[in-house]
Each structure stands twice: as C-alpha cells, then as structure tokens.
Structure 1
Amino acid sequence: MAPTDRLTTVTRDGLTFDVRDTGPADGPAVVLLHGFPQDGTAYDDVAPRLAAAGRRVLVPDQRGYSPGARPTRLRAYVLRELVDDVVALLDAAGVERAHVVGHDWGGTVAWAVASRRAPRVSALTVLSTPHPAAMRDALWRGQARRSAYIAGFQLPRRPERRLLADDGARLRRLLSGSGLDAGHVDRYVRRMSAPAVDDAWPALTAALAWYRALRVRDRFGAGRVRVPTTYVHGVDDPFFAPAAVGATARYVVGPYRVVPLAAGHWLPETRADDVVEAVLATPSAGP
C-alpha cells in the first residue's frame, strides 16, 4: 500500500469492514476495537488525540457492525474469526505490529489478539474488560451476577423484540442507566435498529451473535499475554466484578500496569483523555 493511501474498507472472506484510518501514515500504528452496541465512533474523542501525537490510528467497525460484514452463521462470530479480522486489517494497512486497544467486547478480542497473534502486537491497552480467564475465575465471586444479562442475550429473537420495542426504549434504558450520555445512546440505538439488507442479518441480530456464538464449540481463547499491557477500568463499572479485575494480573506475563478510574463502563466516550494518556504511556515491545 502506498504511504499516502488511507483505508476506508477492508475485505476478508467476502466480508467488507468499514475502517477509519487517520494520523501519519508512517506513524506507529494503533488499532481501536469497540464493543457492544458501539461502533468505531466510540473513539471519536480518542482517535484525533492519538493522531495528533503521531500515531497512525485504525478504527474498524467490527464483524456484525459493518453493514457489509454481517454473516448469517453463528460460527462466523467465534473469537478466532474476530481475531483474524484484526490481523486482516493489519495486513491491509501494511502494518507489521500495532498497539491494540479494546473496550468491552473489543477488549476480549484485544486480549486474544495479544496472546494468540503476539508477533503482530507491540503493546496492549484494554479498557474495562478483564482477561476472559480472570472473568471465569471470578464467576462465583460476583462476576456471574454481573454477567447475567448474557444469558438473556443468547435467547433467539426475544432480545431483539424487547430491546427495540417502542423506539428502542429498553436498549436506551440499558445504555443510559449504565452511564452512557444521551448523544451516544441515540446513535447506537439508531445503528442497532437498522433492518436486514439483502441476505445479511439485521444490525442488532448480528451484534448479538457475538454473545450467541459463546455457545459454539471452539477451543480458541485468550491465553497469557507477554507484551507490555495497560489495563484501565472504571471502579464503578456495573458489568465487571472487582475479583475479575484483580485476577487479570495472573494472565499477563509481560510488563503490566493497572489504571483505576473513578468512572463507569463507557471509557472511550466518557474518559477520552485518560484513555489517550494510558495508550501513550504504554511502552512498546522491542523488535
């Protein structure tokens, strides 16, 4: 790819992912991964600051969120596929190694990319989400209760009906009640309300497929992380138990730093300055 080219889409296995590619084309690359029910705009206050600091910033709308990447098989949403989407993005950008940043479900993907595709990762910053193994460790120490909504999301069809009824009233309450501002709530609810196009799933069904795919047998998971890692979490996050936050250290072998914030869950949208500071302060691994 020529140095002046900027990505707007990436194609993998017939799927087309929307991408925002900003900052110096030859700067150290940072990949920003969103969660549910966000899209790449979750980082609208983060990406310009990183670009101004000399980073090349790659922000995809992930599988199920890009209109051109909504396959209709649950197996297409297992973690291995989500990780390989990130690798495909790096390949398309001509980037050998990147600092990977993830929030919410994007944090789960980031943990897995850093552990399973470590040669492609120079550093890791995870926002909110404990290491998946730490969450399992903490299930009976508060995490099961905080993750109870996941079982509801895995039911067929009913979550879509309930979340989007009355102009998405229930989804709006879920997001605003967990601390997200009205502007982002409106945007995400509108995005999740998009109907099916051609043979693809509707937007919310595709996004919920990440949860439903947890029941698909797949031995691919996040392992121990050896690259420099910063874990940023809100001490008032309603979705993650303190026990899971604390247990995350067991799964990072490389340099590790924890940054607790007096905040809730939605760190890219509500604590952009702290996110940027954490990313810039995380050292990169050597060649």
Structure 2
Amino acid sequence: MKSIEAGCLDIHYHEIGPETGDPVILLHGFPYDVRAYDEVAETLADRGYRCFVPYLRGYGPTRFLSPDRMRSGQQAAIGADLLAFMDALGIERALLGGYDWGGRAACIVAALWPERVRGLVSCGQGYNIQDIANAWQPAPAEEEARYWYIYYFQTRRGQEALIRNRAELCHHIWSIWSPSWEFGAKTWEATAPSFDNPDFVDIVLHSYRHRLGDVPGDPAYDEIEARLAKQPKITVPSVVLLGGDDGVDPPTEDDPCREMFTGAYARHILQGVGHNLPQEAPEAFAAAIEALADAT
C-alpha cells in the first residue's frame, strides 16, 4: 500500500510491476474496491506492466486533505481525481481501465485529456460519461426497474440504509448485478471494509443525486462539468467489455455508444460474466489492456 497527495485527496493505492514497465491505471466502481483488480494487476505485472490501483474517493483508506471540502461524488470530481493522481505520480501517459465509477473516471480523462491516455478499456455501457442535462427523461420501464438503487438513494430511507445496513445492501447489489458470479465469503470480506470510509455515505448519496440533476455539484468542478455536458467524444483507442449476465447494464447486440468513439475501437460481450467484470473475467480484462498496448 502506498499513498500520495493528489488534488484534494490523500489517495491510497497499490502498485505492482517493474518500475520501467508501461503504466496502467485500474479503477474500481461502486460498490467495490481495489481487490477487483488483484488478478488483473498480477497478470499484467508478470507481463512487464507497471500497475497502479487506487481507492476512489470515499473508499478504503483514501481521505480528503481538508475537512471543509465538499464530499462530492459527481462525475467531474472522480475524473479530476484521476488526472490529479497521474500528475502527482508524474505519469504523463497511461493505459486506463475501469468499470462503473472507475470506468466513468477513465472515460472522462480519455475524452477531455486524450494526450494523457494511450488506450482505454471501459466496461458496462462503454461510454460512461453522464448526460445530466437529460437525466430527467424516463427510460423504458424495465431499465428503470434496474435502477431502483438510484431512486432509493434520493430518499431519507435510502440514506439510513447506507448508514445502518451498508454491508447487507452492498452484498445484495453484488449478488443481483453478477448473478452468475459465485463469490465466497473470503472475497466479500476482503472488500467490505472499504465501505467503512467516513466519507462513503456522503459521496455515494451525492453521486446518485447529482447525476439526476437534483443537487448541485462542487463549484470547483463547474468547468469540467460544462465540458462534459457537451458529451465529448472519445478519440483514443478503446476496447469496451460487457458482461453478458450484467444485472444492471445488460448488453444489447446493437451498440448504442459506438458513435461516441472515433478512434480505433472494439466491443466484446463476455457470456457468463456480470457487472464486476475485471474480478469475474481477469484474463479477458488483462488481454484487452495488452491488445491496446500492442496496437499503440
């Protein structure tokens, strides 16, 4: 475990692989942590890559430097955190891989600062930048039902559930988002303590409330949010991986995000895999990183 001051955070992270290796940054989502990348990072390190796996804001030992800083979970904040992390470590250009919140951070940096990104592996929807201005528009009923947790977190009842029952709630989310993943107690118990971060509840609530446009963001990120509102396209070489059994973002045969990627692009659906793709299919995730490295 290492830590570094980056932007408004003291970011804790794992680093593995030779110092001279090509840098790869791997980013987890909600409700997961760095353990999602244990096998991916070990595989890539064995193949000569230098992997960095940070705890996002609100997770594990990562902490804010000031008690007065807004505990924002908005998309611009996690994107800015990733850029600050790269700057603090002196990483000029890296391969980025992420899913869920981490995939969003990776997509943001790839879209807004493409000169810093050698290639992108993004899971789930692929293009993970939120269109907050249009978030009020309803989706098909089946899709809305899968987003029950977003609406739950808008309420006082959902807030209390995160405070009192977060382990049970997050465990349930794991089970329904990855219905074919038979994770055991050991796997769960390795990650669950990361949700005891004192900022976890505030950041999760703000993230899901801000993305619907119901609460303001941190003014420090207004400029980035304005750029994201234009739905910038991703120009860097990209691979999109989707779990065929993803319980929250099930893939479709057509590719609704294809037009948002203008560089070299590939999309793969992995059958028997759910939402937590790097932990469920580590070899496929590592192979996608390597394919980008070979192509660039």
TM-score for the superposition, normalised by structure 2:
0.81
Aligned partner letter, 1:140: A
Question: Deviation at 1:14?
Answer: 4.5
**1:161-199 Cα distance to aligned partner (Å, 9 max, x none):** 32464683333222223335133333333332x263xxx
Alpha-carbon separation, structure 2, partners of 1:73 and 1:19: 21
**1:31-61 Cα distance to aligned partner (Å, 9 max, x none):** 0010011121210111011111111111110
Alpha-carbon separation, structure 1, partners of 2:274 and 2:267: 16
User: Which residue of 219, 228, 236 maps to 2:226?
Assistant: 219
Question: Deviation at 1:122?
Answer: 0.6
Question: Deviation at 1:84?
Answer: 1.9
Map of 1:206 onto structure 2? 203
Unpaired runs of at least 5, structure 2: 218-224
Helix, strand or coil for the counterpart of 1:187?
helix
Q: Is the 8 A contact 1:20 1:59 kept in 2?
A: yes
Map of 2:50 onto structure 1? 56
Question: Deviation at 1:16?
Answer: 0.4
Helix, strand or coil for the counterpart of 1:258?
strand
Compared with structure 1, are the counterparts of its residues 170 and 64 closer, same or farther at alpha carbon in structure 2 (3 Å cutoff)?
closer
Map of 2:39 onto structure 1? 45
Compared with structure 1, are the counterparts of its residues 148 and 246 closer, same or farther at alpha carbon in structure 2 (3 Å cutoff)?
farther
Report which stretch shifted further, 45-54 or 140-149.
Answer: 140-149
TM-score for the superposition, normalised by structure 1:
0.83
Map of 1:149 onto structure 2? 149
Q: Is the 8 A contact 1:122 1:284 kept in 2?
A: no
Map of 1:100 onto structure 2? 96
Helix, strand or coil for the counterpart of 2:278?
helix
Give runs of aligned pairs for residues 254-273 of structure 1, distance below 5 A: 254-262=263-271, 263-273=273-283
Map of 2:222 onto structure 1? none
Map of 1:3 onto structure 2? none
Alpha-carbon separation, structure 2, partners of 1:13 and 1:28: 24
User: Which residue of 243, 251, 271 maps to 2:260?
Assistant: 251
Compared with structure 1, are the counterparts of its residues 174 and 164 closer, same or farther at alpha carbon in structure 2 (3 Å cutoff)?
farther
Compared with structure 1, are the counterparts of its residues 66 and 134 closer, same or farther at alpha carbon in structure 2 (3 Å cutoff)?
closer
Q: Is the 8 A contact 1:34 1:42 kept in 2?
A: yes
Alpha-carbon separation, structure 2, partners of 1:134 and 1:79: 8
Give runs of aligned pairs for residues 1-287 of structure 1, distance below 5 A: 8-70=2-64, 76-132=72-128, 140-141=139-140, 143-156=143-156, 158-163=157-162, 165=164, 168-179=167-178, 180=181, 181-182=183-184, 183-192=186-195, 194=196, 196=198, 201=199, 203-214=200-211, 215=213, 216=216, 218-221=225-228, 223-242=232-251, 246-262=255-271, 263-283=273-293
Compared with structure 1, are the counterparts of its residues 195 and 107 closer, same or farther at alpha carbon in structure 2 (3 Å cutoff)?
closer
Question: Deviation at 1:69?
Answer: 2.2
Aligned residues: CA RMSD: 2.9
Compared with structure 1, are the counterparts of its residues 279 and 230 closer, same or farther at alpha carbon in structure 2 (3 Å cutoff)?
same
Aligned partner letter, 1:62: L
